[in-house]
Structure 1
Amino acid sequence: MPIQPGDPIPEVVLKHIDGGIQTIDTLTLFDDKKVVLFAVPGAFTPTCSERHLPGFVKHFDAFRARGIDVACMAVNDPFVMKAWGDSLDVPEGMLMLSDGNGDLARALGLEMDASAYGMGTRAKRFALYAENGVVKQLFVEAPGEFKVSSAEHVLANLE
């Protein structure tokens, strides 16, 4: 069963590039903070690159004005996440997180099988809002859709 509002974020280690490969565990990422984590099926894929990540880049300052950190996650390696972030001018402070083996996607119950597209196991397209390591809101897309996990929708629906 997927994670639900009221559930704690599971403890998983992710990677990102910041002067080299860095690790960050979800406790460090979420504890004592307000965070929007959004996940995409794959870096450099059409909807992810044309709409999903650009929306969070565009509205990054609006999230920060509310005291909310923003992080993007995909089941890609940290080098791909860094290159993708650089290609779309991700602002400093937005983490581009690698869930390379899909550990967090699986722990959240939000993984999907994209083997038919040659992509293996990936994260579903979703966004979640957490405070102090507890999910407050969860926005999971139906297969093939992009509506509820957009930056605009998340901003408009924050509690």
Structure 2
Amino acid sequence: MTISVGDKLPATTFVTMTDNGPQPIESGEYFAGRRVALFSVPGAFTPTCSAKHLPGFVAKAADLKAKGIDEIACTAVNDPFVMGAWGKASGVDGAVTMLADGNGAFVKALGLEMDGSKFGLGTRGQRFSMVVNDGTVEQLHVEAPGEFRISSADYMLEQL
């Protein structure tokens, strides 16, 4: 079953890259008490993700925060080393927290996984964005396959 607006996020563990190496982050702790703009991409360093999706949220970080967003996070079914390198290469500089969902546990629990095996990607997360308020889904925007519109930072800003 796919997660819906009004649902609590499932308990899972992300991993983020820090100066001290990979560090686990429990979803319940991460989302507690704040409003988070979370977006998911099919993969780090992939064309649309690198050219449009992540850069859009980096560029619009101040605008999102001005509309009541406390934190911006990107997740993908990639390991924390790849997510850390992608964040660094993309110049996120603290504007976006890179949350590795290496085994896809988070997107599977949301019901938002996709089969990218025909592209050599295996199981990945669909492209989506959501606003999470204290662990509860406030907004959810899931893209149709191959599209990039309603999960963008610009679209999220229009909805806030």
TM-score (norm 2): 0.96
Flag structure 1 segments of 5+ consecutive residues without an equivalent.
Answer: none
Letter in 2 for 1:38: F
SS in 2 for 1:79: helix
Q: Write the deviation string for residues 82-109 of structure 1: whole angstroms up to 9, x where unpaired.
A: 1101111003152101000000000000
% identity of equivalent residues: 51
The aligned counterpart of 1:5 is 5
The aligned counterpart of 1:54 is 55
SS in 1 for 2:139: strand
The aligned counterpart of 1:144 is 146
Flag structure 2 segments of 5+ consecutive residues without an equivalent.
Answer: none
1:31 Cα shift? 0.9
The aligned counterpart of 2:136 is 134
Alignment of structure 1 residues 25-36 onto 2, 5 Å: 25-36=26-37
Letter in 1 for 2:8: P
State the number of aligned residues.
158
The aligned counterpart of 2:108 is 106
Q: Quick check: 2:74–2:96 contact (8 Å CA) kept in 1?
A: yes
Q: Following the alignment from structure 1 to structure 2, what is the Cα–Cα distance between the partners of residues 24 and 119?
A: 25
The aligned counterpart of 2:157 is 155
Letter in 2 for 1:96: M
Q: Following the alignment from structure 1 to structure 2, what is the Cα–Cα distance between the partners of residues 67 and 154?
A: 12
The aligned counterpart of 1:39 is 40
The aligned counterpart of 1:117 is 119
SS in 2 for 1:101: coil
SS in 1 for 2:51: helix
Q: Write the deviation string for residues 106-136 of structure 1: whole angstroms up to 9, x where unpaired.
A: 0000000001011100000000101111001
Q: Following the alignment from structure 2 to structure 1, what is the Cα–Cα distance between the partners of residues 96 and 149?
A: 21
Q: Following the alignment from structure 1 to structure 2, what is the Cα–Cα distance between the partners of residues 18 and 67?
A: 26
Q: Following the alignment from structure 1 to structure 2, what is the Cα–Cα distance between the partners of residues 9 and 128?
A: 11
TM-score (norm 1): 0.97
1:23 Cα shift? 0.7
